Structure 1
Amino acid sequence: MTLRSLALAATFTALLATPTVAQDADATPPTAQTIALEMFSEASRSLRAGDMESARRLMQAALDLKPGHPAVLRALVTIATRAERADDGFEALEAMAAAGLAFEPADETIALLDAADPDRLADVRTALGRNETPVGNGEVVARINRPDALIEGVAVDIETDRIFVSSVTERDILMLEPFARDEPVVFADRDDGLWSVFGLFVDDRTRMLWAASGSVDQTPLADGEAGGTALFAFDLVSGELYRRYTIDGAVQLADFVVRDGSVYISDSQAPRVYKLDNVSGELEVLSEDPRFVSLQGVALARGALYVADYSMGIWRIDLTNGSASLVRTNETSLIGIDGLRQTRDGRLIAVRNGARPHQVMAIDLDPTGVEVAHVDVLLRGHPAMGGETEPTLVDLADGRAWLVANAAWPLFPADGSTPEAERPATLIVEMDLR
């Protein structure tokens, strides 16, 4: 390995082997994410230089920091192919299959592995393909023909059987009555101060519809209008805005969960999780940790808060002191989880769209709540989840789940320009979890 490679490997070893120590106040402490990214970059440089062994070791170290990360596993396949190391290629592909990922090896990889062990190659390709076979059932209960809306979130009011969905690009909350599921009406919009709307939650206790709102590249702002982010509470009966909650330092309030009048909310662009104790209170920081990368869905289970991190997995956050630790996974990849909710018995229901295949998973934790015990795929390969779209957020109630099955994020340019591709109607799929 090169001197730089050895230094990075030493840093990685130290991170794993030693406790965190006090650092200079002005220094930015290294995190698993920053070290893994540096290792990924150095491995790429080693690969271009023809130093295959350094590339392999660095990429394997990055995988130890980010278990089940599909990009790292794909890189290991590439390195093994370039180095003509069939066993390494098999191990990376078998790890992908065990992680529940799908992948089609390149022709040169197939040629290398077929020459080494055609039976083993056939087995691993079968396992990878199996990860894309359809699983589960779901009924399309609403079709929202608003192609410019970019629907992201969903919430259901069990008492009235109304469904609420959030729009990123039209800056509103739409309501679907039980007798007119395909005829959305505007419940709240930019006149209420909304920017793009992301997570939604119906709180039966307060009879409030909660909404997280913020500005992203796809948010249409008027000339001179400033972006921002806030948590909104609307009266479910009248539709009137009850209150808007902000906090200094927030960048993009994303998804959240409500229980007993308290709200726990993630910030997808800042390493923070916030808490609101009651409707008359103020947002405060529950947990702030530089290890957080891209926080998404939030769930309460087993006396703790669980927050999906798109790049790292799932964090378990202590509700008393805000300390965070990554949930230890089994072989299943927890990378790319967007929506996250919990059932009454403590199962985590997760929507994965940042890795192939897109799917809805049920995650059972061990008795301590710090480790994954088992994962079931609940929905995969559903016709509503096809095309250049992705499932996003999910809501649970009464033993059922409602999923935004085909959000059109991939079809909306990051620069906020008008999409050229035709966008499909947004489909809400209902699943029976009982």
Structure 2
Amino acid sequence: MRFLATSLLALALGTMPVQAQDEAVPTQQTVAMELFGLANSALESGDHEAARRFLEAALDLKPAHPAILRGLMITAIRAERADDAFLALERMAAAGISFDPAPARELLEAADATRFAAIVAALESNQDPVGEAEVVARLNGIDDLIEGVAMDIETDRIFLSSVTGREILLLEPFARDEPQVFADREDGLWSVFSLAVDDRSRLVWAGSAAIDQTPMEEGEEGGTALFAFDLVSGELYRRYEIEGAVQIADFTVRDGVVYASDSQAPRVYVLNSLSGQLEVLAEDPRFISLQGVALARGAVIVADYATGLWRIDLGDGGVSLIRAGEESLIGIDGLRQTRDGRLLAVRNGTRPHQVMAIDLDETGHAVRETEVLLRSHPELGGEWGEPTLVDPADGRAWLLSNAAWPWFSADAADRPASGPPAATVLEMDLP
């Protein structure tokens, strides 16, 4: 079977770009990848117990990682160890992962048909629809790769970021199907990613960088920066850059202070005032692929697509990985905080795609509980799209539900002639 023949090492690789690490500095990621390699070699040589031990060690470093759990199941099947296969699948179910257990069916039904049936039911239930959301905008006829969304709650205007159009689009409440250009490459924008409306400064913030999908003019130089635009006029207020930055994409704003992650360098930046400069808040070789940013429990919380959630203490600057619960925190893209201090996360790095709320414990160092808020909505993801960024405000949240990254990243010959899916914005009530 094709799945069982897949290299365990290959399964460890995510769909998001991962920043290369300094081989001289062992990190959680480099050690886990080395363990994957050792497990793969052991599996190929028939040493199933060694492969299992290596994978369990990798799982300690990256809890509830889908690829590691699948690797454990593959190893158990090859070793014909039903108990180990049961455990791997039960961990997948607890992690909120959907998975077809067919490769293990023959082994596990023979061992305990009742237990296997319960696992199948649990895995299938992870795909059951949860939550409600309504479509508030759909950009028919626009083939751009749309990534981010921000709501101006006072005027009910929606802002959208375009990766391939190099612009920020504006949707008026009376014309949701007629996007207007709010800012574009004439303002210096490259591809635009995360957006935020700051009610205090009345600015629209945007993270922008040149990437493979950015249409560039001949001789034009790439770069990355944080941009601030006047919320009313759309005039560029200021552009913030910092030496060594590679891709400033995601950020959060609170009380005029901006915290931004670099998805291609192991750094998190801070802008303490409109008149100030971007500074490095934290730089850590353990960061692999930084995504969404939020604030909670006196700390900056940043999602790492490959490893989970990291905490940067605003008091002493300490960096630590937040201890996850059973639900997998691997593959989180969008991350924001709600007014009541919950983390709102979009997980698109594994199936099923979902939006979930994450509550930290009192220390802010561990997950207390998670709650799935939206899953298996008919507009969520699809074959050629994935949910990306979310913006909560006033007890609601707006979500870009189907960014067409799979379409723009695929070989042109494999793409449907009809073009990418129309970018869709969902609105949902928060509990």
**Given the two structures, how large is their TM-score scaled by the length of structure 1?**
0.92
Return the offset for 1:322: 2.5
In 1: Cα distance, 2:316 partner to 2:190 partner: 32
Choose 38-47 or 316-325, whichever is displaced more.
316-325
Return the offset for 1:416: 9.1
SS in 2 for 1:385: coil
In 1: Cα distance, 2:232 partner to 2:64 partner: 45
For residues 36-64 of structure 1, give each alpha carbon's deviation from its aligned partner in whole angstroms, at most 9, with x where no partner exists.
Answer: 00110111111111111111110111111
Q: Is the 8 A contact 1:217 1:415 kept in 2?
A: no
Instruction: Give the equivalent residue in structure 2 for 1:67.
Output: 63
Return the offset for 1:172: 0.6
In 2: Cα distance, 1:412 partner to 1:200 partner: 21
Choose 160-169 or 415-424, whichever is displaced more.
415-424
Q: Map 1:88-107; keep pairs closer than 5 Å.
A: 88-107=84-103
The percentage of aligned residue pairs carrying the same residue is 68
SS in 2 for 1:383: coil
Instruction: Give the equivalent residue in structure 2 for 1:37.
Output: 33
Q: Is the 8 A contact 1:217 1:414 kept in 2?
A: no
Q: 1:411 aligns with which of 398, 407, 413?
A: 407
Alignment pair present for 1:427 and 2:424: yes
For residues 190-211 of structure 1, give each alpha carbon's deviation from its aligned partner in whole angstroms, at most 9, with x where no partner exists.
Answer: 1111110000000001000000
Amino acid of the structure 2 residue aligned with 1:365: L
Q: Is the 8 A contact 1:218 1:415 kept in 2?
A: no
In 2: Cα distance, 1:427 partner to 1:101 partner: 24
For residues 137-158 of structure 1, give each alpha carbon's deviation from its aligned partner in whole angstroms, at most 9, with x where no partner exists.
Answer: 0010011125421110000101
Amino acid of the structure 1 residue aligned with 2:198: D
Q: Is the 8 A contact 1:412 1:418 kept in 2?
A: no
Q: Is the 8 A contact 1:211 1:231 kept in 2?
A: yes
Q: Is the 8 A contact 1:219 1:416 kept in 2?
A: no
Return closer, same or farther for 1:386/1:295 CA change in 2, 3 Å cut-off.
closer
Return the offset for 1:414: 6.1
In 2: Cα distance, 1:368 partner to 1:280 partner: 33
SS in 2 for 1:384: coil
Alignment pair present for 1:211 and 2:203: no
Amino acid of the structure 1 residue aligned with 2:273: N
Instruction: Give the equivalent residue in structure 2 for 1:160.
Output: 155
Return closer, same or farther for 1:377/1:256 CA change in 2, 3 Å cut-off.
same
Alignment pair present for 1:284 and 2:288: no
In 2: Cα distance, 1:92 partner to 1:302 partner: 33
Return closer, same or farther for 1:87/1:366 CA change in 2, 3 Å cut-off.
same
Q: Map 1:61-210; keep pairs closer than 5 Å.
A: 61-107=57-103, 109-210=104-205
For residues 312-367 of structure 1, give each alpha carbon's deviation from its aligned partner in whole angstroms, at most 9, with x where no partner exists.
Answer: 10011111333211111111110000001111111101000001110000111111
Aligned-residue CA RMSD (Å): 1.5
In 2: Cα distance, 1:279 partner to 1:266 partner: 18
Q: 1:311 aligns with which of 293, 306, 309?
A: 306
Q: 2:382 aligns with which of 367, 381, 387?
A: 387
Return the offset for 1:426: 0.9
Structure 2 gaps, min length 5: 1-21
For residues 13-39 of structure 1, give each alpha carbon's deviation from its aligned partner in whole angstroms, at most 9, with x where no partner exists.
Answer: xxxxxxxxxxxxx97210010000011
Q: Is the 8 A contact 2:164 2:215 kept in 1?
A: yes
Return the offset for 1:255: 0.6
Q: 2:290 aligns with which of 295, 308, 316?
A: 295
Amino acid of the structure 1 residue aligned with 2:233: S
Q: 1:347 aligns with which of 329, 332, 342?
A: 342
For residues 282-304 of structure 1, give each alpha carbon's deviation from its aligned partner in whole angstroms, at most 9, with x where no partner exists.
Answer: 00000000000110001111211
Instruction: Give the equivalent residue in structure 1 for 2:373.
Output: 378
- Runs of 4+ aligned structure 1 residues displaced above 3 Å come to 414-421
SS in 2 for 1:373: strand
In 1: Cα distance, 2:162 partner to 2:196 partner: 14
Return the offset for 1:413: 2.4
In 2: Cα distance, 1:87 partner to 1:27 partner: 37
In 2: Cα distance, 1:298 partner to 1:66 partner: 20
Instruction: Give the equivalent residue in structure 1 for 2:3.
Output: none
In 1: Cα distance, 2:414 partner to 2:313 partner: 42
SS in 1 for 2:409: coil
For residues 216-239 of structure 1, give each alpha carbon's deviation from its aligned partner in whole angstroms, at most 9, with x where no partner exists.
Answer: 111111111121100000001110
Q: 1:266 aligns with which of 250, 261, 267?
A: 261
SS in 2 for 1:412: helix
Q: 2:47 aligns with which of 51, 75, 85?
A: 51
SS in 2 for 1:117: helix
Instruction: Give the equivalent residue in structure 2 for 1:16.
Output: none
In 2: Cα distance, 1:146 partner to 1:259 partner: 35
Return closer, same or farther for 1:115/1:54 CA change in 2, 3 Å cut-off.
same
In 2: Cα distance, 1:276 partner to 1:402 partner: 25
In 2: Cα distance, 1:34 partner to 1:189 partner: 39
Return the offset for 1:215: 1.3
In 1: Cα distance, 2:412 partner to 2:304 partner: 24
Structure 1 gaps, min length 5: 1-25
SS in 1 for 2:119: helix
How many residues align? The count is 408
In 1: Cα distance, 2:329 partner to 2:180 partner: 36
Q: Is the 8 A contact 2:391 2:397 kept in 1?
A: yes
In 1: Cα distance, 2:222 partner to 2:55 partner: 39
Q: 2:239 aligns with which of 230, 244, 251?
A: 244
